[in-house]
Amino acid sequence: MARLHLLVRGANRSGGAEVYSAELAARLAHSGHDVTLVCFSADDLLESVCSVCRLREPEFHSLPLLWRFGKALEWLAIARQIAALRLPPPELILASHELYASAYLRRYPGVPMLYIPHSLVAAQEVDGYPWQSRIQRKTVVWLFHHVQRRILNRADRTIRFSHFGCQALRQYYGARIRPRFAVWPAPVNLPPAPTHAPPGPTGPRLLFVGRLVSSKNVSFLLRTLAGLSHPWTLDVIGSGPERQALEAEVVSRGLASRIAFHGHQTDVGRWYRQADLFVFPSRLESFGLVLIEAMSHGVPALCIRRDVQAYHNPFDEIVTDGQDGFLAADEAAFARILNQLLTSPTCLPSVGQNARRTVEQRNSWSEHLRQYESLFGELRRLRPALDRETTCNTGKRVSIPGVDSDNRTVNSDESLTSWASGFFSPLPSDREA
DSSP string, 301-348: EEEE---SSS-B--GGGT--BTTTBEEESSHHHHHHHHHHHHHSGGGH
C-alpha 217/C-alpha 230 separation (Å) is 22
* Closest CA relative to residue 183, chosen from 336, 45, 318, 34: 318
pLDDT for 288: 86
pLDDT for 398: 32
C-alpha 119/C-alpha 144 separation (Å) is 12
Q: What are phi and psi of 361, to 5 degrees?
A: -80, -25
| pLDDT over 80 at 123, yes or no | yes
Residue 41 CB neighbour total at 10 angstroms: 15
Residue of 118 and 197 predicted with greater confidence:
118
C-alpha 266/C-alpha 269 separation (Å) is 9
pLDDT for 427: 31
**Average pLDDT, integer, range 356-378:** 95
Mention every residue, 6+ apart, whose C-beta is less than 8 A from residue 30: 49, 416, 417
Minimum mean pLDDT range among 327-331, 337-341, 401-405:
401-405
**Average pLDDT, integer, range 305-332:** 95
| CB 356, CB 296: distance < 8 Å | yes
**Average pLDDT, integer, range 149-154:** 97
Mean pLDDT score across all residues of the chain: 86
Ranked by mean pLDDT, the top range of 8-22, 55-69, 346-360 is 346-360
What is the band of 63 on the pLDDT scale with cuts at 50, 70, 90? low
**Average pLDDT, integer, range 58-70:** 68
| CB 12, CB 18: distance < 8 Å | yes
What is the band of 57 on the pLDDT scale with cuts at 50, 70, 90? confident
> What tens digit of pLDDT does each residue of 228-251 get?
999 999 999 999 999 999 999 999
pLDDT for 418: 35
Beta-bridge partners for 237: 209, 263
Residue of 198 and 43 predicted with greater confidence:
43
- Secondary structure of 118-154 as H, E, C letters: CCCCHHHHHHCCCCCCHHHHHHHHHHHHHHHHHHHHH
| CB 303, CB 281: distance < 8 Å | yes
Residue of 413 and 369 predicted with greater confidence:
369
C-alpha 58/C-alpha 334 separation (Å) is 42
SS3 22: helix
| CB 277, CB 253: distance < 8 Å | no
pLDDT for 60: 67
User: Which parts of 199-330 fold into alpha helices (H)?
Assistant: 218-226, 243-252, 269-274, 289-296
pLDDT for 358: 97
> What tens digit of pLDDT does each residue of 80-113 get?
999 999 899 999 999 999 999 999 999 999 899 9
> What tens digit of pLDDT does each residue of 26-35 get?
999 999 999 9
**Average pLDDT, integer, range 360-372:** 96
| pLDDT over 70 at 400, yes or no | no
pLDDT for 64: 59
310-316-319 Cα angle (round to 5): 130
